[in-house]
Structure 1
């Protein structure tokens, strides 16, 4: 300190040293404030950029999962529609079994009305019984298949519900994150800022991995139900084809047996008609010959009566005239022969 400064300080004048220090300190403080402002601005911009990047990445993640969900949803919807169409086919197949079964049972009942001599356990009867057994086996099988289809449709629609719910939530989240990405300090009001100014996380917050796993679970579940549905459709198609083939085969076998039986009955009837005509002709001939025999007997009785009358009349001859002459012998022989002819 110079002698002059010391003299001024001793005399109670202005403290130039402190003033100079204060000014220097003020300049340093101002410089520090400017530096702090610049660093804060850079940090804000950097955080804003990082926020935008994270929000953009989040939106892309949501879009990716949305596409996966939409694809799986489309697949499960199409599969469900195909399964519903198959369910209608199975119901129609069940309805179509009722009338043939009724006709088969009616045929069996009608055949029981045949005369006892015709009630045979023939190929027709065996064919009808087998036909009834085949259809009675097909009906419960198709009913079981219909129940399986109904249950699978329910599972498909459950998977569809969860996919649609997930998609709806993804859509809302995407819109919110898009809005957040577009926000700036100048685009929101003070009211909005105070409204959303909360750093507390909601209690249902999940990790990104958990978030992804939940959608993957819905996708996997839908894929599993779709695969189950495809497998069931393959099985049902096989059952429909096999049952239709079995029924058609038995129908053809029974029809062939009926046609063969009809031909055999017709052939036997034709033979009996032919024999009947011959028998009727023979009966007429027998009636004619019977009449001829009766006429011959009557004629021979007349001759016998004549011979007997002659014999009786000759017995009235006088005693010495009653000799056993050739006429008498002839009459006796004639009477015996005529009696024998009449007896035959």
Structure 2
């Protein structure tokens, strides 16, 4: 018995036993001094529940019936020996009530008196509607216990004591949370005073007098009514006190709960604010990177203007070639191809710029010129600003207390403002803004990568085509120089031949002129010998010799004339060809000059490439013979 029921001062001659039930988390030791405070006619018993004092290692009771069965098991015999009374405070009031209800129902025993304090009736609406607290976390439970008072603050302030105290307190509260009863089962006994039969009466008219029984009945009715009204008043006062206590606890708890929710909300807003801020910084960095990429692409596009101008100028210069020099050679083909490559590069670069421009700048319905990234950045900024303002509001609300001077009653504060959102919509909105910003940043990164690849491809294509054009131009210039040198050599040889031919023509003319005197001599001799008379006109050997000489001279003169005519015709042909070669040499000289000017013009590109640090390899051209044949190394 001493394990469960403790009697600190035994009084065998006591006329009544007072059984005391501990409050939540309490033990039997708290009633030790009651035996000394009360007289010897009262013997004080104190209930010791599992999980505390000498029973600290035993598990807590899980329901009210376990407590009742345990106490009944050791004290039932004492209850039948002599009258008993019950006392309980707070949780003890509940166990005391349940104990009295059980012994009345099961054993038909009832206390002569029951003292209850610090608790509302278990069957009252206040108790039935009270929220359960046993499921709260240790921190929340400790704050609730602090708010309702009744627990020594030094226990709650000491973490080690609180750890020892809270388990028993929560276990007892769990029993109360799950205890229910529907009605009050005790019968109230009233002591009726007996009226003596020989009571004196006054003589009066029967019609003006009441009987003693009527008088007693009237007094009893008045007493009953007074007692009933007092009971009603007492119940109202108790209910009012319980309501005050309950509402005070509820108000304190609601205030704490609201503060906790505000704190949680502030943490959520702060977390999302930091996420939005970090995302906004990433968007700013990506916008700067995309802007830089766009500017680099624009510079690359602007850099294609010079190659296009140079190619067009070279084509224009080469249109100045004359005659047969105006040929469709590989240089012209490479120059035209270079123009096409530059046009294609410009289109590709312009497409990249347009994409970056579209990513950076686009027209909204409101006609405000914003970028996709800037729009996402603005949305993030607006969301971030809203969260900063909401954070300020919630932190201001969290700092308010019931003693704050700026609090006041507001008209209809529970209204739902227009445009209110749910927490899910609120979080989804911020998540959508961050997701959209990341998508736009990913698109921007892809555009920058495409720009870099396109710029590299364009640069490689332009450089390759520039080298191809310059190679073709050097090769063509070399061919032009070879042709010019060949023409110079042919012209010099022809001029030398003309000079020799003119000398020979002069010799032929001199020989022809020299043959005229012998011919005249022969003709004169023959004519004079015709004058011989008679038989002396003989065709002698002299005559035959002169005739042969004349024929020979005439044949020689004819041959000289024919050769002279041939020589003169050849001389005329040589001079005509000389004139043609001189003209062709002039055209070749002009064409070579144009090629050289084209090469000089293209030096602007070479200087530009060297400025950018891109040195192209020059394919050398070497002359391997006096005829300047092309030899590609």
TM-score bracket for the superposition, by shorter chain length: 0.7 to 0.9
Question: Could you tell me which residue of structure 2 aligns to residue 198 of structure 1?
Answer: 413
Name the CA distance, whole Å, in 1 between partners of 2:416 and 2:287.
40
Moved more, 111-120 or 209-218: 111-120
Structure 1 or 2, whichever has the larger Rg, is: 2
Moved more, 143-152 or 214-223: 143-152
Greater mean deviation of Cα atoms: 252-261 or 25-34: 25-34
Gaps of 5+ in 2: 1-192, 201-214, 216-221, 361-370, 560-633
RMSD of aligned alpha carbons: 3.0
Task: Quickly say closer, same or farther: Cα 1:196–1:66, change in 2 above 3 A.
Answer: farther
2:317, 2:236 → 1: CA distance?
Answer: 118
Which of 471, 478, 486 does residue 263 from structure 1 map onto? Answer: 478
User: 1:221-300 maps to which residues of 2 (within 5 A)?
Assistant: 221-300=436-515
More moved, 304-313 vs 111-120: 111-120
- Under a length normalisation based on structure 2, what TM-score does the superposition of the two structures give? 0.49
2:327 to 120, 133, 139: 120
Deviation of the 1:116 alpha carbon:
3.7
CA separation in 2, counterparts of 1:246 and 1:265? 28
Q: Does 1:143 align with 2:360?
A: no
Q: Measure, in 1, the Cα distance between the counterparts of 2:436 and 2:442.
A: 10
Per-residue CA deviation, residues 64-117 of structure 1 (Å, 9 max, x unaligned), is: 111111111111111111111121122222222233223323333443332242
Answer yes or no: is the 8 Å Cα contact 2:352–2:450 preserved in 1: no
* Secondary structure of residue in 1 paired with 2:413: coil
- Name the one with the larger helix percent: 1
TM-score by length of 1: 0.87
What is aligned with 2:401? 184
Q: Secondary structure at the match of 2:409?
A: helix
Farther off after superposition, 241-250 or 219-228: 241-250
Residue 167 of structure 1: which of 361, 370, 384 is its match?
384
Residues 1:312 and 2:522 are matched in the alignment: no
- Higher mean alpha-carbon deviation, 303-312 vs 81-90, is at 303-312
Q: Number of aligned pairs? A: 339
Q: 1:297 to 1:56 in 2, by over 3 A?
A: same
Find out whether 1:72 has 2:314 as its counterpart: no
More strand, by proportion: 2
Aligned to 2:537: 322
**What is the rounded CA distance, in whole Å, between the counterparts of 2:194 and 2:447 in structure 1?**
107
Distance 2:455 2:233 in 1: 96
Structure scoring higher RCO (CA < 8 A, sep ≥ 6) equals 1
Residue 428 (structure 2) aligns with:
213
Distance in 2 (CA, whole Å) between partners of 1:25 and 1:157 is 73
Identify if the C-alpha distance between structure 1 residues 24 and 2 changes in structure 2 by more than 3 Å, giving closer, same or farther. farther
Please give the per-residue CA displacement for 1:195-236, whole angstroms capped at 9, x wherever unaligned.
477121213221111110010010111111111111121122
Structure 1 residue ranges without an equivalent (≥5):
none
